[in-house]
């Protein structure tokens, strides 16, 4: 079995990839350089691809920054210190149609290599309000894939595997630790400082900190950086 896995370099995509490898898939890792301001995650994706034993790792350049519309591509300010339990708006870090673009590229490569699945590490519980991380979106894209590809019309449609979609960040981390993953390889921060130092205040940093706190384990990334105390000792309230 072959699977194309969307690999960002964060802990979610790392865990999803490792789960697919555990289940017997040969992994073809795809990382998109889309003009993200936190491009250090691409370096992390390379480390993660090696760690999960990917048969091949492709990096594609798709410059979504040319379109703008998101703080993650330099259009606006990265929000900090949000109360994620009370925030219900779609934040400025939402990249318009990003997962649709990414899944479409993964779908094209999956047909080329004969993959039967696309693996994506989206999560609908501990996330920042992105509409393209929801189960109903993934089901809709799977239906599109069945209609839009030769594999689909010939009766072997590709499946979208999102094994983390209904897991909390703490559950994801516990799963990864059980699989022996080294989360020190990953990068999560949207607005890293010099040397890749995490800001400790963006949505991604806060969700990661809460996940490790609730899982009851230390984040190995903290061995190299000094984060705000609130991001290393307690979950978000």
User: Is 227 within 8 Å of 198 (Cβ atoms)?
Assistant: yes
Structural domain of 154: 2-233
How many other C-beta atoms can be found within 10 angstroms of the C-beta atom of residue 183?
22
Residues in CB range of 130: below 8 A, 6 or more apart: 90, 94, 99
Q: What is the mean pLDDT of each run of 10 residues along the chain (237 residues)?
A: 97 98 98 95 97 98 97 96 82 95 98 97 80 94 96 93 96 98 96 89 94 96 58 35
Q: What is the pLDDT of residues 99-156, one digit of tens each?
A: 999 999 999 999 999 999 999 999 987 666 789 999 999 999 999 999 999 999 999 9
How many other C-beta atoms can be found within 10 angstroms of the C-beta atom of residue 130?
18
What does the DSSP assignment read for 135-172?
HHHHHHHHHHHHHHSHHHHTT---EEE-TTTT--HHHH
Q: What is the CATH number of the domain that holds 144?
A: 3.40.50.620
Residue with tokens 């039967």: 116
Number of domains in the chain: 1
- Is pTM, for the whole model, over 0.85? yes
Rounded distance, CA 48 to CA 11, Å?
9
CA dist list (Å): 54 to 50, 51, 213: 6, 8, 30
Task: Estimate to the nearest angstrom the gap between the alpha carbon of 68 and the chain centroid.
Answer: 20
Rounded distance, CA 82 to CA 79, Å?
7
């Amino acid at each position: 079995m072959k699977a194309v896995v969307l690999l960002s370099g964060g802990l979610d995509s790392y865990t999803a990839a490792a789960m697919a490898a555990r289940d017997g898939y040969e992994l073809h890792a795809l990382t998109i350089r889309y003009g993200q301001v936190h491009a250090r995650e691409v370096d992390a994706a390379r480390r993660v691809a090696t760690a999960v034993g990917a048969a091949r790792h492709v990096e594609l350049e798709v410059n979504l920054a040319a379109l703008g519309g998101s703080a993650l591509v330099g259009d606006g300010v990265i929000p900090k210190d949000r109360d994620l339990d009370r925030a219900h708006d779609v934040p400025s870090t939402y990249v318009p149609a990003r997962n649709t673009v990414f899944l479409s590229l993964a779908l094209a490569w999956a047909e080329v290599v004969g993959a039967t699945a696309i693996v994506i590490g989206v999560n609908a519980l501990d996330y920042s309000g992105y509409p393209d991380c929801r189960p109903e979106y993934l089901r809709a894209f799977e239906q599109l894939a069945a209609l839009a590809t030769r594999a689909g019309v010939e009766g072997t449609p590709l499946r979208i595997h999102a094994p983390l979609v209904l897991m909390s960040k703490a559950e994801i981390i516990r799963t990864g630790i059980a699989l022996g993953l080294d989360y020190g390889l990953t990068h999560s921060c949207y607005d890293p400082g010099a040397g890749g130092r995490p800001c400790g205040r963006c949505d991604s940093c806060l969700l990661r900190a809460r996940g490790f706190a609730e899982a009851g384990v230390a984040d190995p990334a903290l061995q190299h950086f000094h984060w705000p105390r609130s991001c290393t000792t307690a979950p978000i309230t």
